[in-house]
Amino acid sequence: MIVYLNGSFIPHEQAVVPVEDRANNFGDGIYEVVSFADGCLFAFEEHMDRLRYSAREIQLDLPEDPSRYAAVAERLMTENSLAGYASLYMQISRGVAPRLHAFPAQARPTVYIAAKPGKYVPDEDREKGRPAVTLPDLRWGRCDIKSLNLLPNVLAKQAAAKAGAQDAILIRDGMAIEGAASNLFAVFNGTLVTHPKGPHILGGITRQHILRLAESLGIPCLEEPISAEAVWKADELFFSGTMLEIMPITKIDGKVAGGGRRGPVSARLQTGLHREMWGK
């Protein structure tokens, strides 16, 4: 497997980063995950806009315009003989410096990019849906930044995995915010509802596409908080994410939720999203 590290294309086993890289010591960096559908980057510029936003919010000077990484991605696809469905992982840290909390006076950002085959979720799994669990939201106050500080997310995903669930619905101040690695949507009487953008959620790229798609399909949309109690009254529930796309939630904490199946709104949105990604 060939990867990109600081301007060079090298074998994965040779891609090493010094132990004093600030990603290692502080989680001081940002990342993005982009999907390839039918060998083409999907919503790449939207992901790069979010990368720029994350960099700006943590005061990280990007070493170059992220748009040029499209060429890097295409070469990685070729070098690794990837086609069809694949994922691109991009990580940029503040760089290597002695372990001091304040920003180093001089440090060159570390840029790592890798592409690998994606695991497409079978249509039958999307029809059946998957279970979720509820957990307190223990993340920091800037979830809108796609940073490397993911330990609370890791612990939530592990708790979900131990319970045999897809993801955790994170609860903050009595509200169902989002998943540990996904955005959350609910449908009430035909209206699509998701938590509004802000510091408590990541502004998902797939989330954006779903909202635009819903509008084009004439599905009413609201961006407003969803109470933890209201989740149980939803006609449909689903998670969304770059590689997940749309995944219906059919159980919460072991009890039937969201009608116990994929609903008609979720099905229409998944069909439309698939058409956007694959052109068919």
Q: Are 237 and 185 in contact (CB under 8 A)?
A: yes
Q: Which of 116, 119, 128, 146 is catalytic?
A: 146
Interval 180-230: pLDDT, tens: 999 999 999 999 999 999 999 999 999 999 999 999 999 999 999 999 999
Band of pLDDT at residue 280, cut at 50, 70 and 90: low
Check if 251 is active-site. Answer: no
The token duo for 77 is 């696809």
Copy the structure tokens of residue 246. Answer: 């749309």
CATH number of the 2-117 domain: 3.30.470.10
What is the homologous superfamily of the domain 123-278 according to CATH?
Answer: D-amino Acid Aminotransferase, subunit A, domain 2 (3.20.10.10)
pLDDT tens by residue, 268-277: 999 999 999 8
**Are 2-117 and 123-278 the same fold in CATH?**
no
Looking at residue 137, its pLDDT comes to 98
Task: Give the pTM.
Answer: 0.94
Domain ranges of the chain: 2-117, 123-278
How far is residue 205 from each of residues 17, 32, 49, 176, 260, measured CA to CA in Å?
A: 29, 10, 10, 19, 27
